[in-house]
Amino acid sequence: LGVVTNTGFLRRLVASTAFGTGEVHTSWLDGSAADELLTAPTVPGSAAALAARSWADEHLVAGPGPWEALDGWRSAGPARPVTVTLLDPTGQAQQVPVGPGDLPRP
C-alpha cells in the first residue's frame, strides 16, 4: 500500500562507512556492499510490540460499558486476542498480539 520507494536503501547507502569516506565507485555496489545495503534491517519483536501498543493507544478507545470493552472477553471461551498488523521495512505483514494490560482504558 502506498508508494514504493528506495528510501530505506538510500538511508543505508548514506550511512555506510564507504560512502562517508568517499570510497564509493561504479562497481562498489556490485561488490561487497550489495549484502550490506540490499538487505533490509529486521525489526526486533520488542519494537513491533511497542509500535502495536502505540497504535492501540491512539486508535482503540474503550467505552465504559461491558460491550465497549477492548479486553477480548467472550462468554463461551477464553478472551479473544487483540492483534495489530504492522508492516516491517520489507513490506511483510507482522501480527503483533496486544494483551489486555496493554490496551487503553476509558
Q: How deeply is 63 buried, as exposed, middle or buried, from its count of CB atoms within 10 A (0-12, 13-18, 19+)? A: exposed
Q: Which amino acid, residue 52?
A: A
User: Does residue 2 fall inside a structural domain?
Assistant: no
- Asked whether residue 88 falls in the same domain as residue 53, the answer is yes
User: Does residue 84 fall inside a structural domain?
Assistant: yes
Q: Is the pTM of this model over 0.75?
A: no
The length of the chain, given as a count of residues: 106
Where in the sequence is the domain holding 86, given as residue range(s)? 45-102
Q: Phi, psi (5° rounding) for residue 44?
A: -60, 150
Mind listing the pLDDT tens digit for each residue in 89-103?
667 777 877 765 655
- Asked whether residue 54 falls in the same domain as residue 13, the answer is no
What does the pLDDT read at residue 99?
A: 64
What does the pLDDT read at residue 78?
A: 80
Domains contained in the chain, number? 2
